[in-house]
Structure 1
Amino acid sequence: MRRLTDALYDVVLTLWVGGLWTIGYLVAPTLFAALSADRQLAGGLAGKLFELIGWLGLGCAAYLLLYMLLRAGMAALRRWTFWLVVLMLVLGAVSLFGVQPLLAQLKADALPREVMESVLRNRFATWHGVSSILYLVQSVLGLLLVLSSRRGSK
């Protein structure tokens, strides 16, 4: 059973961090490039994907933290990788439950215009920037977690 949980740890970590990098740095830019004539559609699709990876991240973080606690007990609290996952979880939750709904509300408030053509443009741009920074930090932390996992410091 331990082999299965160890393997599942690696799969879950790969799924989460790989998903962050794939959606954020491959899929979203490709959507905006391919749908350059309809940025609203590209933004809507990208938003759905970021929401999906946010929910996936919550589930993955829960498994990773549970795994570390069950494997190492309270000693897990002294490992930097445990706190790295906690930080990634917090960043993901702030984005999913705080920033993304705010961006969606700004888009809705701007209707019937696109938000970037409305008086809400500056607020949207600011919060979009906050969202991008949170995502970048989470992605880099995920990369550190993957690299640390390769050295066996679960």
Structure 2
Amino acid sequence: MLILRRLENLLLSLWVGVMVGIGYIAAPVLFKVLDDRKLAGSLAGDMFYIVMLVGMILGGILLLLRYREESINLFRQWRGGILLLMLGLVAVSLFVLQPMIAEVKMSGITEGSDNAKKFAMLHGISSLVYLLTVIFGCLLIFFGLRKTPG
């Protein structure tokens, strides 16, 4: 039981750590050091895609581990709900927002255009979804994935 709890903490910390490392350290550095914003955006987009895949895999494993022990009761607890919400946010990002952003980029973005406004809106939504996922992950790291007795 203790090993399973530690494994869950490790996987959750890895997931949130990857998100923080890429989203709030690596991506901003790309835009700061590269003169070509298009290249920086392309590289950041590739990194975010990998982060979302990592999130789907680690989140899926965590959900399976917790469900294996808690069954349907997992979703009656706030911790299980938060974990499911995190996985849902990652899925929305990966399968809805990122393809929409890629489509806008492919049709071309010029300053002040409708595409530029659409890109800014989608980027803002994506950033908010990302931030919420990190915040929820930090809550689960702080309080733990399991209710501790006592």
Q: TM-score, normalised by structure 2?
A: 0.90
Question: Kindly, what percent of the aligned residue pairs are identical?
Answer: 37
Q: 1:21 maps to which residue?
A: 20
Q: 1:6 maps to which residue?
A: 5
Q: 1:133 maps to which residue?
A: 128
> Looking at both structures, which has the greater relative contact order when contacts are Cα pairs under 8 Å and sequence separation is at least 6?
2
> Structure 1 residue 5: deviation in Å?
3.1
1:40 & 1:127 partners in 2: Cα distance?
17
Residue pairs, 1:1-154, within 5 angstroms: 2-35=1-34, 37-110=35-108, 115-117=109-111, 119=113, 120-149=115-144, 152-153=146-147
> Structure 1 residue 4: deviation in Å?
4.2
1:99 & 1:70 partners in 2: Cα distance?
31
Question: For the aligned residues, what is the CA RMSD?
Answer: 1.8
2:24 & 2:84 partners in 1: Cα distance?
23
Q: Which runs of 5+ in 2 are unaligned?
A: none
Amino acid at match of 1:142: G
Instruction: Tell me: CA distance 1:44–1:19, structure 2 relative to 1, closer, same or farther (3 Å).
Output: same
Amino acid at match of 1:34: V
How many residues in Structure 1 have an aligned counterpart in Structure 2?
147
Instruction: Tell me: CA distance 1:116–1:142, structure 2 relative to 1, closer, same or farther (3 Å).
Output: farther
1:45 & 1:145 partners in 2: Cα distance?
30
SS of alignment partner, residue 29 of structure 2: helix
Amino acid at match of 1:52: I
2:81 & 2:110 partners in 1: Cα distance?
37
